[in-house]
């Protein structure tokens, strides 16, 4: 069963015609989660869909109770992670979402950086017997794993090889991190990029394997530094007494009202390739 | 139970009296609980379970064909637990450990307790969940009903009205919403503007009708009226969901506190407790005398 809060997508047109497998509750995210809970209690697997901040923050308490506390097989699909809805303003910016979502027990959080990962998550989310949240970007991102077979269930991938520094990133920022790695290469710093496409639970064994050999670690995300992916990595490091210098790059404590597009936002808030490269060079 | 005879009526009245006394004892012992909410629902809970309005199997709580009953105002768990125990979902002695360590009987009802399917306590969740259950039943061709009980104070949560839009759109005529219309919430009255604490909910039947519900009203402390309002909830010849407003009094049966402000989440103590318990015992003695007279013990 797919329940939409009045959001569509080309890929969903076909699904929305399936008899008895699609419901539009209207612009009513709390109802989407609550109704999904009722269906899940009766044995159905349910996906709920809306623009990212609305299917998460708008109905957060329903996520907490009706999905997570009752531990039901409901998958929240949020489209427009980070600043994907760039010109739509703070109402549509999906920031603070990683912090708000990763605290809930039982919840698995996915953050695919390419179509192959997203495609794999269709089956993974169907087979998983608990609540999940998948944060999607808006557009089509280039495939990272066409010539690089990985186990999508592991939650971690190596997007770019390098030996000195590791950049851990997620979603669209993985591609940004790869461009940063190219820039760093020109400056004589070899950076590898780790795609953390499962934000909860973090696969610590795989993560530490991917970090083997590097001296320093950077996190790069298009969400708040407070409570975001970088915070989660810092927690993993502290809790495991993993002692490598860590630089967290992400959004500072501010709302974004700037127009002009995602690239403008990135540049203004230090998340563009040049700024990130410079930060890392200054730090290393 | 379409029509109830005198003996049955007396039996149910005595159960409601027993329920109120038990609720009071549990709350006093547990030092917490929403006594006045539970008192306002005593007749309804007894009618649903002892009066067998609901289809259930206490030996098999997850029986597939049971009606799904959602206690959306989870704080009324205190009033539901004794009834669930009395009809056999779990031992009556479990009531002694209300709110205690190793107990599942909390202030708010949750699904670790036999006979309870849904976690409630945060208001405005039950009806959205009920729409999913009722929709599932229809898709699967099942005849069980989904019955959701909300408080009237709870209806200030917007999610209820979101759920009603879905219920109407999908023609969920297998969904019954029962509203505990006691005209009070935590600090205020729901149909008064006497103080700044009060917020109007009226006119409520018209609101439900406008949202596409068949709407009925009954005195929620009168067994004949409860049975009449709920007697034909199966196989209604209507495509509409049904809303039944049970007119009740918060704290009914405890004259010292009923309908008064400040008792939403307070357990009577001292003289008030004694007065409430004495009143309930007196009522029980009267009912017992009637039963003896009628040979219906």
Average pLDDT over residues A40-52: 98
State the pLDDT confidence band at B296, using cuts at 50, 70 and 90: low
Please give the structure tokens belonging to residue B153: 């104070």
The per-residue pLDDT for B203 is 94
Count up the domains in chain B and report the number. 1
CA A193 – CA A173 distance, rounded (Å):
10
Is B1 domain-assigned? no
In which element (H, E) is residue A135 found?
A: strand A132-136
Q: Is the per-residue pLDDT at B155 higher than 90? A: yes
Q: Are B148 and B120 in contact (CB under 8 A)?
A: no
The pLDDT tens digits of the residues spanning B46-60 come to 999 999 999 999 999
Please give the structure tokens belonging to residue A56: 């998460």
Average pLDDT over residues B143-164: 98
Segments of chain A assigned to CATH 3.40.50.920: 152-283
Q: Is A72 in the B-facing interface, judged by CB distances under 8 Å?
A: no
Is B257 domain-assigned? yes
Q: Is the per-residue pLDDT at B289 higher than 70? A: yes
pTM for this one? 0.96
Would you list the DSSP string of A152-202? GGGSEEEEE--SSEEEEE-THHHHHHHHHHHHHHHTT--EEEEEE-EEES-
The pLDDT tens digits of the residues spanning B59-93 come to 999 999 999 999 999 999 999 999 999 999 999 99
Closest partner CB to B117 (pick from A39, A41, A61): A41
Q: Are A221 and A228 in contact (CB under 8 A)?
A: yes
Is B155 domain-assigned? yes
Exposed (0-12), middle (13-18) or buried (19+): which is B165, by Cβ within 10 Å? middle
Alpha-carbon gap: A208 to the closest alpha carbon of chain B (Å):
38
Mutate which of A22, A25, A26, A38 to disrupt the B interface (most B C-beta within 10 Å)? A38
The per-residue pLDDT for B193 is 87
CA B129 – CA B133 distance, rounded (Å):
6
Is B196 domain-assigned? yes
Domain A152-283 sits in CATH 3.10.20.30: no
In which element (H, E) is residue B77 found?
A: helix B77-86
Kindly list the residues from chain A whose CB atom is less than 8 angstroms away from the CB atom of residue B130.
38
The per-residue pLDDT for A104 is 98
Q: How many CA atoms lie within 13 A of B64 on its CB side?
A: 7
In which element (H, E) is residue B244 found?
A: strand B242-247
What is the DSSP pairing of strand A198-200 with strand A216-224?
unpaired
The pLDDT tens digits of the residues spanning A172-185 come to 999 999 999 999 99
Angle, helices B223-230 vs B42-49, to 10°: value is 50
Q: Is the per-residue pLDDT at A283 higher than 90? A: yes
List the CATH code of the domain at A2-136: 3.40.50.970
CA A113 – CA A120 distance, rounded (Å):
12
Which comes out higher in pLDDT, residue B2 or B31?
B31
CATH code, domain with B119: 3.40.50.970
CB contact under 8 A, A42 and B136: yes
Segments of chain A assigned to CATH 3.40.50.970: 2-136
Average pLDDT over residues B173-198: 93
Percent helix, strand, coil in chain A, to 5, is 40, 20, 40
Is B184 domain-assigned? yes
Is B180 domain-assigned? yes
Average pLDDT over residues B192-210: 93
DSSP summary character for residue A11: G
Nearest CA in chain A to B128: A34
Q: Is the per-residue pLDDT at B139 higher than 80? A: yes
Strand partners for A50: A78
Closest CA to B178 of B12, B95, B58, B67: B67
The pLDDT tens digits of the residues spanning A151-163 come to 999 999 999 999 9
Q: Is the per-residue pLDDT at A213 higher than 70? A: yes
Q: Is A281 in the B-facing interface, judged by CB distances under 8 Å?
A: no
Q: Is the per-residue pLDDT at B297 higher than 60? A: no
State the pLDDT confidence band at B2, using cuts at 50, 70 and 90: low
CA A46 – CA A41 distance, rounded (Å):
10
The per-residue pLDDT for A84 is 98
Q: Is A34 in the B-facing interface, judged by CB distances under 8 Å?
A: yes
Residue A157 Cα distances to A39, A51, B6, angstroms:
34, 26, 73
The pLDDT tens digits of the residues spanning A87-142 come to 999 999 999 999 999 999 999 999 999 999 999 999 999 999 999 999 999 988 99
Closest CA to A41 of B128, B170, B75, B167: B128
Average pLDDT over residues B163-174: 98
The residue segments making up the domain with residue B202 are 6-294
């Amino acid at each position: 069963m797919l329940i939409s809060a009045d959001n569509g997508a080309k890929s969903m047109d076909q699904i929305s015609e399936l008899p008895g497998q699609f419901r539009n509750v209207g612009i009513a995210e709390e109802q989407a989660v609550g109704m999904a809970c009722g269906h899940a209690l009766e044995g159905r697997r349910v996906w709920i869909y809306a623009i990212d901040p609305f299917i998460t923050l708008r109905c957060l308490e329903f996520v907490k109770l009706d999905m997570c506390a009752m531990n039901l097989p409901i998958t929240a699909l949020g489209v427009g992670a980070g600043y994907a809805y760039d010109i739509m303003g703070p109402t549509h910016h999906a920031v603070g979402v990683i912090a708000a979502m990763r605290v809930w027990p039982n919840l698995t959080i996915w953050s695919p950086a390419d179509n192959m990962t997203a495609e794999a998550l269709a089956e993974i989310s169907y087979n998983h017997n608990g609540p999940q949240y998948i944060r999607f970007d808006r557009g089509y991102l280039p495939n990272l794993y066409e010539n690089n077979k990985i186990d999508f269930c592991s939650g971690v991938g190596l997007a770019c090889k390098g030996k000195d520094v590791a950049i851990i990133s997620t979603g669209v920022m993985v591609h940004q991190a790869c461009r940063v790695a190219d820039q760093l290469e020109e400056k004589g710093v070899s950076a590898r990029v780790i795609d953390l496409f499962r934000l909860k639970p973090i696969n610590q064994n795989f993560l530490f394997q991917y970090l083997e050999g590097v001296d320093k670690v950077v996190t790069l995300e298009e969400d708040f530094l407070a409570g975001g992916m970088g915070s989660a990595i810092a927690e993993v490091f502290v809790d495991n007494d993993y002692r490598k210098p860590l630089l967290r790059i992400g959004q500072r404590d501010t709302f974004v009202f700037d127009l002009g597009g995602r690239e403008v936002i990135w540049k203004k808030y230090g998340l563009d390739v040049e700024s990130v490269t410079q930060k890392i060079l200054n730090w290393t | 139970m379409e029509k109830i005879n005198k003996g049955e009526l007396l039996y149910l009245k005595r159960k409601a009296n027993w329920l109120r006394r038990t609720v009071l004892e549990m709350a006093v012992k547990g030092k917490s609980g929403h006594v006045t909410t539970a008192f306002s629902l005593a007749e309804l809970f007894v009618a649903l379970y002892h009066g067998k309005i609901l289809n259930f199997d206490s030996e098999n709580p997850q029986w597939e064909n049971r009606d799904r009953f959602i206690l959306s105002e989870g704080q009324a768990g205190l009033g539901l637990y004794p009834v669930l125990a009395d009809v056999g979902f779990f031992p009556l002695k479990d009531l002694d450990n209300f709110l205690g360590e190793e107990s599942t009987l909390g202030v708010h009802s949750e699904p670790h307790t036999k006979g309870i399917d849904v976690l409630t306590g945060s208001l405005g969740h039950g009806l959205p969940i009920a729409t999913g259950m009722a929709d599932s039943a229809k898709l699967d061709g099942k005849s069980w009903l989904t019955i959701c009980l909300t408080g009237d104070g709870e209806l200030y949560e917007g999610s209820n009205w979101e759920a009603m839009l879905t219920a109407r759109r999908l023609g969920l005529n297998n969904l019954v919403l029962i509203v505990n219309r006691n005209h009070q919430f935590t600090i205020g009255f729901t149909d008064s503007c006497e103080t700044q604490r009060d917020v109007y909910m009226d006119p409520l039947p018209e609101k439900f009708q406008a949202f596409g519900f068949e709407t009925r009203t009954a005195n929620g402390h009168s067994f004949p009226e409860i049975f009449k309002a709920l007697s034909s909830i199966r196989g209604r010849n209507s495509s509409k969901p049904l809303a039944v407003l049970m007119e009740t009094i918060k704290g009914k049966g405890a004259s010292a506190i009923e309908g008064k402000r400040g008792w939403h989440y307070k357990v009577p103590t001292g003289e008030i407790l004694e007065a409430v318990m004495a009143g309930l015992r007196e009522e029980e003695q009267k009912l017992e005398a009637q039963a003896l007279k009628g040979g219906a013990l």
